[in-house]
Amino acid sequence: MATTLIYNIATLGGIDRKGRLRLQGKEMAQFETLDNAYLLIKDGRIADFGSMESLPQLAADVKRIDAEGGTVMPSFCDSHTHIVNAGSRENEFVDKINGLSYAEIAKRGGGILNSADKLHEMSEDELFEQSMKRVHEVMLKGTGCVEIKSGYGLNTEDELKMLRVIRRIKQTSPLKVVSNFLGAHAVGRAYAGQQSAYVDLVVNEMIPAVAAEGLADFVDVFCDEGFFTPEETGRILQAAARHGMRGKIHGQELAPSGGVEVALKHNALSVDHLESMTDEDIAMMIGTETSPTALPGTSFFLNIPFAPMRKMISAGLGPAIASDYNPGSTPSGDMKFVVSLACIKMRLLPEEAFNAATINGAYAMGLSADYGSIAIGKVANFYITHPIPSIAFIPYAYTTPVIREVYLNGERQN
């Protein structure tokens, strides 16, 4: 058995001794740390941890890594990304500067449809190679688990192409990857003015084809003003359930659109965005399994309101935060910056923001039994920082590159 000891850790953060799958309400301010610590890894999983004074005698062949007084933190768990895409959309960035809204750009044929046009022209190999650069980027920024969505194909062939690329990423990257079929991201150009017929295509052709190849862990729908209605969303999620795939929702980004209600009705694992979340939405979510997931990078980039995270936590909910890394509304997968935004713009304590970005992010992907905290038996996904004064320094110093080394499955990544 391969055994590795990380020693001379100034602070070991994100410890969980209770086997919790997510934290809610006041629990989110609990982020256990241990000073002057060690971490023991066996066969890619956490075998033990404790104070250096309690370090047991170890065999001579154990690999030893000096943390050099750095802090060790569980890897970020980013539950909402669009990493597989065909490239940047900086021309729309200029449109936004000139005053056009996200919805206005979409109505002019830009936005998601622009990305779909580019992706259609790109081969699967090209798409894979380009996407792997982004995968490597987020990995070195501390992300250890990631959900990747399709949704820039908008026809059966191109959606399957995207999902096959995501499968290749799963097979070749040390990141833990879950896949999400988002054929209902927008109405494809071939179905302009025929939204109902496009929904028929998603339900009757796309979902069965995705299921036949086992390409998706989840099925998502953009249920919002100007996109898909709650009734259409429900129909798609019912089809997903028939093929063994649980739902997720893009909802309440642009308007109070019924996304939360339909997510709860169909037991979606998460409902994401929530920039327009209402007090009634919050009340509906109390006591449910569905994870509210906020995307602060989207609010920052689009200059729209931030999701009401403070209200959610005060009501007893356990929100996650994710990057929404995509070429149109959030061209950044830097989860450290997402944590900073949660603190600065959403008024979360650093401890709350870290829990939202780790254990609760893992929960929003169905992964928190194995990822998202420092706990015996969990997969050894973590990063080591340069020496820092406290964990609060990480979101405080929002552009400082604090991460020194990244470990996934107990192995150092370069």
Ligand-binding site membership of 243 (annotated): no
Type of residue found at 307: A
Exposed e or buried b per residue across 183-197, where buried means at least 16 C-beta atoms within 10 angstroms of its C-beta: bbbbbbeebeeebee
Ligand-binding site membership of 386 (annotated): no
Ligand-binding site membership of 326 (annotated): yes
Rounded CA-CA distance 123/128 in Å is: 9
Q: Which helix (DSSP H) or strand (DSSP E) does residue 29 occupy?
A: none
* Cβ–Cβ < 8 Å for 59, 394: no
Ligand-binding site membership of 157 (annotated): no
Ligand-binding site membership of 250 (annotated): yes
* Cβ–Cβ < 8 Å for 77, 357: yes
Ligand-binding site membership of 329 (annotated): yes
Cross-strand pairs, 294: 273, 321
Closest CA to 115 of 101, 105, 125: 105
Task: Provide CB contacts within 8 A for 361, sequence distance 6+.
Answer: 76, 77, 78, 79, 145, 293, 320, 321, 322, 372
Ligand-binding site membership of 253 (annotated): yes
Q: How far is CA 261 from CA 195, 213, 267, 384, in A?
A: 21, 31, 10, 41
Task: Provide CB contacts within 8 A for 320, sequence distance 6+.
Answer: 77, 79, 270, 291, 292, 293, 294, 356, 357, 360, 361, 363, 364
Residue ranges for the known binding site are 80, 82, 89, 152, 185, 250, 253, 324, 326, 328-329
Residue ranges for the known binding site for Fe(3+) are 80, 82, 250, 324
Residue ranges for the known binding site for N-formimidoyl-L-glutamate are 152, 326, 328
Residue ranges for the known binding site for Zn(2+) are 80, 82, 250, 324
Residue ranges for the known binding site for 4-imidazolone-5-propanoate are 89, 152, 185, 253, 329
